[in-house]
Amino acid sequence: MFEFTIEKNKILTPLLALTGVVDKRQSLPVLSNILFELNDDSLTLTATDLEIEMTANLECAVLTPSSITIPARKLVDIIRSLDDDSPVTFSTKGNYLNIQSQRSRFRLATLPANDFPKSKVGENLVEMSIDREALLRLFQTTYFAMSQQDVRVYLNGLLLEFSKDSLTSVATDGHRMAIAKVFLTELNQQHRVIIPRKGILEILRLLSSVEDISVDLCVGDGHFTVHTSCYTFMTKLVESRYPAYHKVIPRHLSTFVLVDRDFLKRSLNRITILAHEKTRAIILSLQQTGLCLIANNQQHEEAIEELEAQIDGEYFRIGINAVYLLDVLNHLPEGLIRLSFVDADSSILLETLADENYQYVIMPMKL
């Protein structure tokens, strides 16, 4: 007999977290469901799409240990619609689940728990703990540079590199690249993994929703796992070789621009209104008086913004994708940023003076 009672607000949050993992393609009917497992004093919820899997553990008074799978979307909509702070009772009768809360009653069709595919993971190759906010920052400042649906599968993921004393996150789509690093004491574990795009997006959601001070990371043969106090998230890895990203970072830099991050961001937001609709190309004009931003489009409309900036080196014009520049500015702290150039035809290196362990590279566009 499957039966338990729990407060609405206690179960809604983990249900919302797990629905992002539920298979939207519905390749198998049971993948549209969440697995409920009742143990002696806890309730375990699991969702998977065969590539990623997420588990939530809740304290719960259990009458009899049992398990079942319940349609995820319908269940979330039902629980969300109930009155706050109201207790919700779940019980089964045959192949149906009855949900009761005050005067509301619902009946949902279920599928057997034995049909639900749970991942089997082997021995871990890397195990470590890390500050949650440091890991969140590491991923937030790089993930947006990942590609989407590129034939080069490694570009559709994020490289996580474990080294002797640091953890490095790298993402690129072939036109721009973001690199972030956090130093750790006595990591002493050499390893590289490529985490797929969906896995990274779900990890970001998870890290933003919990309040744990630290989280545990595990890397095994083909999988990457994040453990928090309430959740366990596992994703399969991209089986590919990541390019030598160090070679992309421009060398022999000769021209440098120091400009306020907020001023540059606001100016970019204004002039992109009149930038080319498809390319979003703008011109950075390095002048003796400062930095000038220029945008124009197919209708020969134009926008110009002049910014105070400290320029050391040559004066020239270079084309750049405004969206690529805005993407990184949205994730950098306030203060000065430095744009470094080799010449008008080479990649641009962007760094923030507030964090010496962050680099962002953008390919130029033809004027």
pLDDT one-digit tens code per residue, 17-36: 999 899 777 778 999 999 99
In a domain, 367, yes or no: no
- Binned at pLDDT 50, 70 and 90, residue 367 comes out as confident
The domain boundary, picked from 229, 246, 263, lies at 246
- Binned at pLDDT 50, 70 and 90, residue 366 comes out as confident
What number is the average pLDDT over the span 92-104?
92
pLDDT one-digit tens code per residue, 286-320: 999 999 999 999 999 999 999 999 999 999 999 99
In a domain, 337, yes or no: yes
Q: What is the pLDDT, as a whole number, of residue 60?
A: 83
Please check the confidence at residue 64 and state whether its pLDDT lies above 80. Answer: no
Does 238 share its domain with 308?
A: no
Which phi-psi region, left, alpha or beta, contains residue 300 (left: φ > 0; alpha: ψ -120 to 50)? left
Long-range contacts from 271-279, C-beta under 8 angstroms, 24+ separation: 271/295, 271/303, 271/304, 271/305, 271/322, 272/322, 272/323, 272/326, 273/303, 274/301, 274/302, 274/303, 275/303, 275/322, 279/321, 279/365
Distance CA 223, CA 319 (A): 40
Q: What is the pLDDT, as a whole number, of residue 41?
A: 82
Please check the confidence at residue 120 and state whether its pLDDT lies above 90. Answer: no
Does 13 share its domain with 88?
A: yes
Does 256 share its domain with 352?
A: yes
The domain boundary, picked from 115, 148, 180, lies at 115
Q: What is the pLDDT, as a whole number, of residue 168?
A: 96
What number is the average pLDDT over the span 135-160?
95
Does 283 share its domain with 261?
A: yes
Does 146 share its domain with 106?
A: no
Query: Is residue 341 classed as helix, strand or coil in its secondary structure?
Result: strand
Does 146 share its domain with 187?
A: yes
- Binned at pLDDT 50, 70 and 90, residue 39 comes out as confident
In a domain, 193, yes or no: yes
- Binned at pLDDT 50, 70 and 90, residue 1 comes out as confident
Distance CA 114, CA 110 (A): 12
Does 153 share its domain with 47?
A: no
- The CATH number linked to 279 is 3.10.150.10
Please check the confidence at residue 224 and state whether its pLDDT lies above 80. Answer: yes
Does 12 share its domain with 98?
A: yes
What number is the average pLDDT over the span 62-80?
90
In a domain, 291, yes or no: yes
Does 92 share its domain with 140?
A: no
Range of the domain at 222: 124-246
Does 155 share its domain with 236?
A: yes
Q: What is the pTM of this model?
A: 0.92
Please check the confidence at residue 187 and state whether its pLDDT lies above 80. Answer: no
What number is the average pLDDT over the span 162-173?
93
Lowest-pLDDT range of 21-35, 106-120, 346-360: 21-35
φ and ψ of 330, to 5 deg: -65, -20
Does 216 share its domain with 156?
A: yes
How many structural domains does the chain have?
Answer: 3
Distance CA 244, CA 247 (A): 6
Does 131 share its domain with 66?
A: no
Higher pLDDT, 99 or 190: 99
- Binned at pLDDT 50, 70 and 90, residue 274 comes out as very high
Q: What is the pLDDT, as a whole number, of residue 175?
A: 95
In a domain, 47, yes or no: yes
The domain boundary, picked from 246, 271, 286, lies at 246
- Say if residues 247 and 154 touch (Cβ distance below 8 Å): no
Q: Rounded mean pLDDT of the chain?
A: 93
In a domain, 289, yes or no: yes
